Amino acid sequence: MTLPYYISWCKQNSAATFEIESVDGVKIQTVGGHELIDMTSISYQAHFGHNHPVIIKHIKGQLDTIPMSSPKGIYPHKNEATYNLLRYMKKEHGKIFYTTGGSETIENALKIARDVTKKKIVLARRNSYHGATLGALAATGDWRNPAHLTPEGWVVRIPEPTEADALEKTREIILQTDPNKIAAIIIETITGGNGVYAGSEAWWKGLRALCDEFKIFLIMDEVVCGFERTGKSFGYMHYNVDADIICLAKGITGGMIPFGAVWTSKKIADYYEENILCCGLTNYAHPLGIAAMSGVLEIVQDQNFQKNLKHVEIIFKEELEKIKKIKLVKEIRVEGMLCAIDLHKSIDAKKFMKAGLYLVAQTNRIILAPPLIISSELLRSAMTKITQVIKDNE
Ligand SMILES: Cc1ncc(COP(=O)(O)O)c(C=O)c1O
């Protein structure tokens, strides 16, 4: 079908699309009566399913009061919601800069790091995705950043945490590059779409020590991992390591309103008391985003949500243990409700769609990130279907 708009990240003449008739919780009804269980929260943002009534209630309420963006406008709900976010993050001493999505969040984090340090270069991993805008894409190390798209010299790659002597090599790279030119290291707390790799606590602590030694900011990209995705409220809670800047998006509104947030440390917040914050957006702290975020914060702090989540996390692990036994499966990495299944040969995403599943399957890797509100019955049924499709591909 020829469309008047583009489909992202693919050749337009062979885009893998599907026509949505309606959505209900974690299910999508397609035109033609096919039902899909969403096993990747679409693009890792639908943490709370596709039409959560609590988020809808907050957005509708906001439409009836202050629906218009007003970057410098202050109203009680904006203050309360932000304090609530800071408490939930356990980062009360810092300050939030709001954005309209993940890439913009990274973009502003990079700008702030460069501005405060007056240094330009950023260190980042090869196995990473940080967003599609120029700065975020420059930091990105995967196939979406071919050399011709982003400026040269902005980003220097550091070794993957699994490489031998990763920290020593990172130190050498810092010295070779010149610490006086490096503003920040940016890292996904756990890589999302690039395979669910978490660095060890020792590696994270080593990175923090290098940042302290050379006065480099540590930016944690929590765009995928935030809001209960990986078995804790945030990915950084796995490591006991402080960031200078934390980037949030996706789950912050469960994908219902384009929104994001940059958390900065108190030191950075203090800097901007006396220096101009050269960052801004027409839709800064959009009331509909603030409202959707309030809905999310209500859900994640609800006992019933947490009870179901803990239960489905266990079932997810149990089912993955069964999948691990299939010959075609090479390795599985799982963190809470985020998982990568590596196979010995490639598998076509269309096979899963045919079986009633929406998920990410690229070459020989499957990524699963089910909505966190999924019931245990539906999760088991989806995992059984996944098992069958993998077995049929043997
Ligand atoms: C880890 C990570 N950071 C940043 C982004 C960019 O977010 P957005 O697509 O909302 O701009 C993404 C998007 O997938 C992501 O996975």
Q: Which of 129, 229, 338 best tests ligand 1's pocket when mutated (most atoms within 8 Å of CB)?
A: 129
For the segment 123-130, the average pLDDT, to the nearest whole number, is 98
Residue with the nearest Cα to atom 9 of ligand 1?
Answer: 102
Ligand 1 atom closest to Cα of residue 225: 1
Query: For ligand 1, is residue 125 a contact (CB within 6 Å)?
Result: no
Segment 261-276, tens digit of pLDDT: 999 999 999 999 999 9
Answer yes or no: pTM beyond 0.95: yes
The per-residue pLDDT for range 305-360, each reduced to its tens digit, is 999 999 999 999 999 999 999 999 999 999 999 999 999 999 998 999 999 999 99
Domains in the chain: ranges and CATH: 12-51+303-392 (3.90.1150.10), 54-300 (3.40.640.10)
CA of 275 to the centre of ligand 1 (A): 29
Give per-residue pLDDT as tens, 70-98: 999 999 999 999 999 999 999 999 999 99
Res 194 pLDDT > 90 = yes
How many C-beta neighbours within 10 Å does residue 378 have?
18
Mean pLDDT of 8-15: 94
Q: Is there an atom of ligand 1 within 6 Å of 159 CB?
A: no
Is residue 176 pLDDT above 80, yes or no? yes
- The CB of 141 under 6 Å from ligand 1? The reply is no
Answer whether 101 contacts ligand 1 (Cβ < 6 A): yes
Q: Residue 32: pLDDT band by 50, 70, 90 thresholds?
A: confident
